[in-house]
Chains A and B, each alone.
Chain A
Amino acid sequence: MSEYLDLLGLGFMQRAILAAVFTGLAAPAVGTYLVQRRLALMGDGIGHVAVTGVALGLLTGASPTWTAVGVAVIGAVVIEVIRERGHANGDVALALLFYGGLAGGVLITGLAGQSGARLQQYLFGSITTISVGDVGVTMGLAAVVVVVCVGFAPQLFAVAQDQEFARVAGLNIRAYNLLVAVLAAVSVTVAMRTVGLLLVSALMVVPVATAQQVSRSFRTTLGAAMALGTLASVGGLLLSAYASFHARVAPGPTIVLLALAGFVVAWPVGIWLRSRRRLRQPFPVVAATVHDTIDEHPHDHGEDCGHVAVPHGDHVDYVHDGHRHAPHGRHYDEH
């Protein structure tokens, strides 16, 4: 155990933890708006495009982080423009960029004379090799993403919820759409060092999917997704560091699998909550319905009698075995 604490005290681990915290906050923040627009795979598309950006950095000797930011932003804007023009479906536009980005990246890396291993750092993350400068860039960019996503939440929510309404409300929807695209591109490159370009979308989407299993409002979804994202990225990092004494465990996949484990736990809870809510929804009040009187009833209904109690107008119906029993004087009515 003391070995483990020593490991956490090392500079590279502390840098990694900082990067994990900021990435875990930023990626699900943008991811919430992408999921709201039903563009859950957009992060993946941008991630593939960013591979070309990284390769360009390797080829030219420029910082791969910044070339990735540049190419990812261009890719995100192209996806948005194709989507807006409606010439292709959003998912077709994404698919086109998926393949172009990945193929271009692998080709250019080869041209640059770099090995696949160098590219793999970016494809699957290498959070423990992150430099001081890279941590600074990651924190700065992630902070911008979080501030914009939370600060402009009312506008971004309205645009993602209903474009036409937002436009008639006087919002510049094209500007907001592009803003989300750029934010997505930035958070992809922020998360690139943590989980890698091929897994980046998981950190944007999985915490949101987990949060919405139990939440009923947008704000709690956004907040819970950010909390879960941070939990998964820091937890996954610490877990992989702990496991590294026994086996080679990469942090990127550990983070993603931990996030998925959270979803697996939340999913049945969500199903249970939804069915409970549906069962307890009040019955509609309809005038003049025929009802039967139940004379013999072996069971007294009441609070905590074990049967689902559903409000029905000015009284309560108790549901059991396909019946709706309402207390009426000394007997029950079948409603």
Chain B
Amino acid sequence: MADPVIEMNDGAVAIAGRPILRHIDLAVAAGEFVALMGANGSGKSTLVRALTGLRPLATGSLRLFGTALDDFHDWQRVGFVPQRGGAASGVPASVWEVVASGRLTRRKLLRPLRRADRAAIDDALEVVGLAHRARDGVSTLSGGQQQRVLIARALAGEPELFFLDEPTAGVDLPNQQVLADTLATLSGRGATIVLVAHELGPMAPLIDRAVVMRDGRVAYDGPPLASDQVATAHLDLHDAGHHHHPEPERHDHAPHIASLIEGGPE
């Protein structure tokens, strides 16, 4: 079997000496679409930051594309969409310029853009549906459109592995739908996607697997859950992990509640 794209073994992250993530084991295979879920403060964003090397591991190991993080230099294979602080900065920048900065992973120092670079930038703008806004200043775009610009920036480097940190937070439903369509396109092209999300919304049908974080640990790792199951998902794993049931009896209440809600009041 091929190496997993992401492989974290017993990973732990401490911020200023305080343990935040503990005992994280996570393997993601090529082409998988994984949703990292959990409440605020559960550590899902910290986990993505650890997976991208932004947060050093206190203990444990991380391998990307089969290479230990310290030896990993193929950053053009990784695309990162940070949690939105806005795409704007102190100086005006056009949409095209922000997206073009995502192409840096494949550019050499002091060389002009090649034709392939321009094509990749145009393609990225096309995928997120903002080709017609390329010349506009990024700060004139709405929040949802700025989020799409950040996704296009990650796309421009033509990566195989995407990390998206809460791309739908504060984004209206039509823009969420565009984001979902974009991710569907990427996934269809064979990309591996790790998505941090509080709510999946229109992206729910795309997910292959859900990983639910709770208090800095993985509380659930398995098939996608309805969003109201996320809050109680740890109960299932708790039983499985600590009491060593051979085939853990699933608490029936979570699906039960879900079906009630889906069926509407009776």
Contacts and interface: CB of A to CB of B under 8 A. Distances in A.
Nearest to B112: A154
A216 B137 contact: yes
B80 A40 contact: no
Most B CB within 10 A of own CB, among A35, A37, A155, A157: A157
A59 B85 CA distance: 48
Interface stretch (A103-111, A160-168, A293-301, A322-330): A160-168
Given A161-B87, A217-B94, 19 more contacts: A38-B89, A154-B100, A154-B104, A155-B104, A162-B82, A162-B87, A164-B82, A165-B101, A165-B153, A165-B154, A166-B104, A167-B53, A169-B105, A169-B157, A170-B73, A216-B92, A218-B94, A219-B97, A221-B91
A215 B97 CA distance: 13
A164 B96 CA distance: 19
A248 interface: no
Contacts, number: 95
30 contacts: A32-B91, A35-B91, A36-B90, A36-B91, A151-B110, A154-B100, A157-B93, A158-B101, A158-B104, A160-B89, A161-B89, A161-B98, A161-B101, A162-B82, A162-B85, A162-B87, A165-B82, A165-B102, A166-B101, A168-B78, A216-B92, A216-B137, A217-B93, A217-B94, A217-B96, A218-B91, A218-B93, A221-B92, A277-B140, A278-B140
A168 B159 CA distance: 12
The 10 A-B pairs at the shortest CB distance, nearest first, are namely A170-B75, A217-B94, A168-B80, A158-B101, A36-B91, A216-B137, A218-B93, A38-B90, A36-B90, A35-B90
Nearest to A278: B140
A217 B80 contact: no
A248 to B, nearest CB: 37
B91 A212 contact: yes
Interface string A171-186: 1000000000000000
Interface of B: 52-54, 73, 75-76, 78, 80, 82, 85, 87, 89-94, 96-98, 100-102, 104-105, 107, 109-110, 135-137, 140, 150, 153-154, 157, 163
Nearest to A39: B90
B206 to A, nearest CB: 23
A151 B75 CA distance: 22
A218 B135 CA distance: 11
